[in-house]
Structure 1
């Protein structure tokens, strides 16, 4: 488990700072396969997780959903045959917060179980 995965997701207010681009790159080094994607002007963390079939992809999406609900921090999930795409960002600040990197690490840990 990475040190990020061991961190807790903290409550985020509208005035919380976004992770600076330099810090994003440092945090990404701890997250294999994750990318920062800009959609409609908002930086988001994205990773596609491959699976053997739709049922495995759906089971993983449900497990990520339970993880998200427990942290009160919710991603976008796209389930397709053989893959689940997970996208983390903080809606409140319209960008990336450290929580997003923490949850990405927790998602990786969940996938590796």
Structure 2
């Protein structure tokens, strides 16, 4: 099981992530697209990095908006896995 990060570690790593916010024990980002097709195309781009990491985000789609939430459920909060995947997701257009 992945080890939970301390509050100081979480704050330090979160400060280096653009477009992500801390919501309790979760990292969250929202993206807006031209339409539903573009939103789903973006979601499909998340599959490979998530599978490779063995770490899967919670995803909500509402027409042209995508909300991605990361937390390590089995650890009960934020771990290094969440920040590593957030950095990868941030690089996806």
Q: TM-score, normalised by structure 2?
A: 0.91
For the residues of structure 1 that align with 2:72 and 2:3, how far apart are their CA atoms?
11
Residue 88 (structure 2) aligns with: 106
For the residues of structure 1 that align with 2:5 and 2:31, how far apart are their CA atoms?
24
> Which segments of 5 or more consecutive residues in structure 1 lack a partner in the other structure?
1-12
> Which segments of 5 or more consecutive residues in structure 2 lack a partner in the other structure?
none
Q: Please list every run of at least 4 consecutive aligned residues from structure 1 whose deviation after the TM superposition is greater than 3 angstroms.
A: none
Q: 2:6 aligns with which of 2, 8, 20?
A: 20
Residue 90 (structure 1) aligns with: 72
Deviations 1:53-110 (A, max 9, x none): 1111111111112221121110101111221111111112010001101100100011
Q: Is residue 57 from structure 1 mapped to residue 39 from structure 2 by the alignment?
A: yes
| Displacement of 1:23 | 1.3
For the residues of structure 1 that align with 2:49 and 2:65, how far apart are their CA atoms?
18
Q: Is residue 76 from structure 1 mapped to residue 58 from structure 2 by the alignment?
A: yes
